[in-house]
Amino acid sequence: MRLKALTAILIAGITFAGVAAAQERRLPTQPELRLSYSPVVQHVAPAVVNVYAAKMVQNRNPLLDDPIFRRFFGVPGGGGNQLQRSLGSGVIIDAAGLVVTNNHVIEGADEVKVSLADKREFEATLVLKDPRTDLAVLRIKNGREKFPVLDFADSDALQVGDVVLAIGNPFGVGQTVTHGIVSALARTQVGISDYRFFIQTDAAINPGNSGGALVDLTGKLIGINTAIFSRSGGSQGVGFAIPANMVRVVVASAKTGGSAVVRPWLGAKLQAVTAEIADSMGLKRPTGALVANVNANSPAARAGLKAGDLIVSVDGQDVDDPNAFDYRFATKSLGGSARLGLLRAGREQTATVALQSAPEMPREEIVIRSRSPFSGVKIANLSPALADELQLQNVDQGVAIVDVDSGSYASNLGFQRGDVIEEVNGERIAKTRDLERLTSTPNRSWRIIILRGGQKISAVFSG
C-alpha cells in the first residue's frame, strides 16, 4: 500500500516538474516581438468607411388622425418632425466609389454621407438595395478620384479556425480593428435575412460595425459584418457576416445598372428534413432540402424534379437544409445551368436545372392614400418574380402588399409586407387598380380577406 502511494507521489512530482519546465519564463526574441497584423490593416483600412444616414420622421399621436379630437382640443393636423440618425460602416469595392453596406444601416434614409479613413466626408447616393440579403450599394459623389478598394475572396474556401480581422466603427468611436477566428460556417438558423447562410466569428463586433469588413490575412474581403448574438447589446463573441460570394452577386447587379438583384428561380417549394422524415426515408441523419411541390412550367418542372425528391448538393457542394440550398442556388450566374444531386426513392440521381429568372409582369405599384384600412400600404400585381421575392408559396397571381408606411393606419391595423389581398367587401382583388378603385369611395364597414403564410385571415373594420 505504501509502495502504491509513493509511486503516485513520484508520478505527480514528475508531471509537475514537466509543466514547470514548459512554463519557464524567458524574454521573447526580436522576431517574436515584431509579429503583427499591421501590414494587413494598413492595406485594408483605407477602403473601410463610416456610413452616416439621416431621415426625418413625423412625431404624431394616432389621436391626431381623428378630426373630432383635433376640433375639440383645437389641435392642428399633423405633428412635429424629428431627425433620426443611424451609424454604420461600409466597404469600397470599386475605385469609382461604389460602397457596399448593410441595407438596415441606410433603410429609409433621406440623406447618406460617407466618411473615409482620412476623415474626408462625401455625400453618397443609393444605387441598389437588396432587403433579402440586407445589403445595399452606394455611390460616393466624387467622380474624379480613384478610391482604395478591397478585392473579394472566395468565401467558400474558408475553414473553421481561419484567422480573420473585423474593421468598422463600433459605437461611433472611430475606425477600430478586432481579430478572431472563423468559429462556424453556413449558419442557416439565424433569422436576419431571407438568405440565411452566415460566417460566424468571435472577432469583436458591436453596434456600428454593421456593413464593415471581415477580411482574411491576405487583406481580401470574406464577408460583410451584419449582426451579433448578444443579451447585453455588446459583443459576446458571436458575430455574423454575409459571405463575400453573396456580396459579389449584389455588387455585380449594381455595376450593371440594375435597380434590383435578379437571381435564378427554381420554382419549387422546399422543406427541411426532420428526424421523423429522415427515419421514414432511411437516411442516416436529417439533411438536405426536401421538394414539397413543383410549380408548373418552372425550371424545376422542366428539369424533372418531383415532390419527394431530396436535394443533397448543388454542383457538388453539399446542401444541409433549404437555407443552404437557397444560398448555393442564388449565388449562381444566370444563363447557365446547375447540377442538382438528388435522392429519389433511395436512389442517387442528378438533375440539370436552367439558371433563369422568374417571369415578371408590370407590377403597377400603387400607394393607397385614401381613407381606408389600407391607408399607407404600397401594393403591386403579383407575378412569379414578386412571389419569389416575397417568399410566397403556391401563389403567384393577385395583389400583394410590398411595403407599409411606419405609423400609418394600415401599419397600426397590423398589415404586413407579403400579405396577399384576396377580397374586399365581397369583391375579388385581381389587380392593383381594383383595390385603388374600391378604397377611393368612403365606407363605414370593410370586410377584408387576406392570405398570410398560407392561411386565410378574415377581418372586419369600421370606417
Integer angstrom CA distances of residue 61 from 83, 84, 411:
17, 18, 14
Q: Which member of 104, 235, 253, 298 is catalytic?
A: 104
Residue 43 bears catalytic tag: no
The whole-angstrom separation of Cα 290 and Cα 307 is: 8
The whole-angstrom separation of Cα 116 and Cα 100 is: 14
- Tell me, what amino acid is at 211? G
Integer angstrom CA distances of residue 432 from 232, 286, 451:
44, 43, 16
Q: Are strands 48-58 and 111-115 parallel, antiparallel or unpaired?
A: antiparallel
Backbone angles phi, psi at 385, to 5 degrees: -65, -45
The whole-angstrom separation of Cα 223 and Cα 215 is: 7
Q: Which member of 210, 235, 253, 375 is catalytic?
A: 210
* Helix residue ranges, H only, 131-240: none
In contact, 374 and 439? CB cutoff 8 Å: yes
The whole-angstrom separation of Cα 130 and Cα 294 is: 26
Q: Which member of 134, 216, 309, 396 is catalytic?
A: 134
Question: Where does 150-228 show beta strands of DSSP type E?
Answer: 163-168, 176-187, 198-201, 213-215, 221-228
Q: Show the cell assigned to 186.
A: 453556413
DSSP states of 135-157 as a string? EEEEEES-TT-PPP--PBP-GGG
Residue whose entry in the numeric block shows the C-alpha cell 379630437: 69
Q: Are strands 289-294 and 310-314 parallel, antiparallel or unpaired?
A: antiparallel
The whole-angstrom separation of Cα 341 and Cα 404 is: 40
Chain centre to alpha carbon of residue 395: 23
> In sequence order, which residues have a C-beta less than 8 Å from that of residue 421 and are 6 or more positions away?
374, 379, 398, 399, 400, 401, 429, 435, 448, 449, 450
Chain centre to alpha carbon of residue 355: 22
Residue 134 bears catalytic tag: yes
193 three-class SS: coil
Backbone angles phi, psi at 407, to 5 degrees: 80, 0
Query: Which positions are annotated as active-site residues?
Result: 104, 134, 210
